[in-house]
Amino acid sequence: MQAAQVKFDTAGFLRQQPLFAGLKDSTLKNFSEYAVLRAEKKGTQLFSADAPNEQFFVVVSGWVKLFRETLDGEEAIIDILTAGQSFGEIGLSGSEPMPYGAAVVDDAQLVVLPRFMLAEEVMRNSVFGLAALQALTRQRIQRDLEIEHRTVQSAPQRIGCFLLKFCTGHAEEDAHTLHLPYDKAAIAYKLGMKPETFSRALQNLKADLGITVKGNAVTIPSVKALVDFTCSACSSSFPCKV
């Protein structure tokens, strides 16, 4: 007989996230009673820009993009998030519109919490307030870095920087194989370039650094060589913690 599907341990999951790590058991239990676990397929739109600010999301698995689009239909991808990252605006009131839309770029599971519960917890518990402040600060610094990258790095360098995020903890001298986590087109937009440019820039990395690409598998013969190529045009140095 088939075992019943194991229920997802929301409280346990949240406790592992820096934002929630300092909360009391009773609070986490309360949160998880109001939490919903959503599983969504690639392509699903979670909400659009200007939606009411009612929910806070924590990614359990998969990938989600945050984006803005202009009147004439251009899309700018602000960020692409994965397991352990979260989005939603505790610092905006419930009546202010969301400043971005969100959509799933690779099948994802998400914990969804009511925004007001987190806002109330900020008022009640200054430890949580400080944790939220820290999380948001890192987010903003991440954006600062993004602005710098788009100003001073070439397309191949931005790709190099992207690839290096998947090489942390790896010996610099060695070769390393990694898998691109979602569509190349989505990576391209996230890096602020067109898919065609992404494709061609990847060719440059092949030619100059001996990188090989097969489907979504990328092999980097020398992480050090890639660091040299990429990080000279950046203010932080590898491994680039944010």
Partner DNA sequence: CGAGGCCTTGACCCAGCTCAAATAAGGTGG
Partner DNA sequence: CCACCTTATTTGAGCTGGGTCAAGGCCTCG
Burial level of 59, CB count in 10 A (0-12/13-18/19+)? buried
Q: Nearer to a second copy by C-beta: 11 or 119?
A: 119
Residues lying near a second copy in the complex (CB under 8 A) are found at 49, 68-72, 74, 76, 78, 89-92, 99-100, 119, 122-127, 129-130, 132-134, 136-141, 143-148, 150-152, 192, 231-235, 237
H/E stretch holding 230 = helix 223-231
Residue 124 binds: one of a second copy, DNA, none (C-beta under 5 to 8 A by kind):
a second copy
Which of the stretches 45-53, 55-63, 95-103, 189-197 binds DNA when contact is defined by CB under 7 A? 189-197
Burial level of 184, CB count in 10 A (0-12/13-18/19+)? middle
Instruction: Work out whether 184 is an interface residue with DNA (CB under 7 A).
Output: yes
27 within 8 A of 54, measured Cβ to Cβ: no
Helix axes 155-164, 195-209, angle to 10 degrees: 80
Minimum gap (Å) between residue 69 Cβ and DNA: 14
Minimum gap (Å) between residue 215 Cβ and DNA: 5
Instruction: Work out whether 211 is an interface residue with DNA (CB under 7 A).
Output: no
Instruction: Work out whether 194 is an interface residue with DNA (CB under 7 A).
Output: yes
Point out which residues pair with 38 in neighbouring strands.
110
Minimum gap (Å) between residue 231 Cβ and a second copy: 7
- CA 74 to CA 27: how far, in whole Å? 42
Which of 67, 69, 73, 22 lies closest to 46 in space, CA to CA? Answer: 67
109 within 8 A of 61, measured Cβ to Cβ: yes
Minimum gap (Å) between residue 177 Cβ and a second copy: 28
Q: How many residues bind DNA (CB under 7 A)?
A: 21
Which of the stretches 49-57, 63-71, 127-135, 209-217 binds DNA when contact is defined by CB under 7 A? 209-217
Is the peptide bond preceding residue 99 cis, with omega within 30 degrees of 0?
no
Minimum gap (Å) between residue 192 Cβ and DNA: 7
Window 111-170: residues binding DNA (CB under 7 A) = 154-156
**Residues making contact with DNA (CB under 7 A):** 154-156, 183-185, 192-203, 213, 215-216
